[in-house]
Homo-oligomer: A and B are copies of this chain.
Amino acid sequence: MTLLIRPYSPEDWNAVWAILEPVFRAGETYPFPRDITAATARDAWTSGPKQVFVAVEDATNRLLGTYYLRPNFEGGASHICNCGYVVSEHARGLGIAARMCAHSQSEAIARGYRAMQYNLVVSTNDSAVHLWQKMGFGIIGTVPEAFRHPRLGFVDAYVMYKRLDGAAAPAG
């Protein structure tokens, strides 16, 4: 599968929401209200100082994933960025998250960020934790019982971090 990662544009929203909605409704990985409206989700995912991207299957033009890149803090800490990634439930296991993560690191380096930080990686989200570790992120902190999982109750979350300067720019 040839995957194209390109900037989001507003006409992508319906397809992006179709990807985000089941993930937000499940409430197992992202700290958004499970009953979030499309309008609020749109603000949360695309507004403010965010760069938003979509991953599109080249042959079919189907949208299979999305991520945002933003400064995690401002001012004296604005050299650290933060990203959130969601892959379509219909396209799991194809390496799309890894592709978006690599792409986001390239974009972050191009924008002058020195590091990337994930603030709340739910510890029970094994596939994400393992993928981020494989992509070079380390667990730099554990927030006890940070996340109320719908099935598992209160579970820990990790703060994960990767230094970007000097990193090889991965192909996007």
Contact across chains for A77 and B157 when beta carbons are under 8 A apart = yes
Complex contacts, A85 vs chain B, CB 8 Å: none
Stretch of A7-15, A59-67, A99-107, A113-121 with 4 or more beta carbons under 8 angstroms from chain B: A113-121
Contact across chains for B141 and A76 when beta carbons are under 8 A apart = no
Residues A19-53 near B (CB distance < 8 A): 24, 27-28, 30-34, 36
Within 8 Å of chain B (Cβ to Cβ): is A4?
Answer: no
Interface residues on A, range: 35 or more
Contact across chains for A148 and B76 when beta carbons are under 8 A apart = yes
From known contacts A140-B141, A142-B141, infer whether A77 and B115 are also in contact, taking CB-CB under 8 Å: no
CA distance A30 to B73 in the complex (A): 10
Complex contacts, A144 vs chain B, CB 8 Å: 115, 140, 161, 163
| Cβ distance A62 to chain B, nearest Cβ, rounded Å | 28
Chain B residue with Cβ nearest A29: B76
Contact across chains for B31 and A147 when beta carbons are under 8 A apart = no
Complex contacts, A80 vs chain B, CB 8 Å: 143, 146
Complex contacts, A34 vs chain B, CB 8 Å: 75-76
Contact across chains for B161 and A77 when beta carbons are under 8 A apart = no
Complex contacts, A78 vs chain B, CB 8 Å: 31, 33
Residues A67-86 near B (CB distance < 8 A): 73-80
Having A77-B146, A140-B141, one finds 5 other A-B pairs with CB under 8 Å, namely: A31-B77, A31-B78, A33-B78, A115-B146, A141-B141
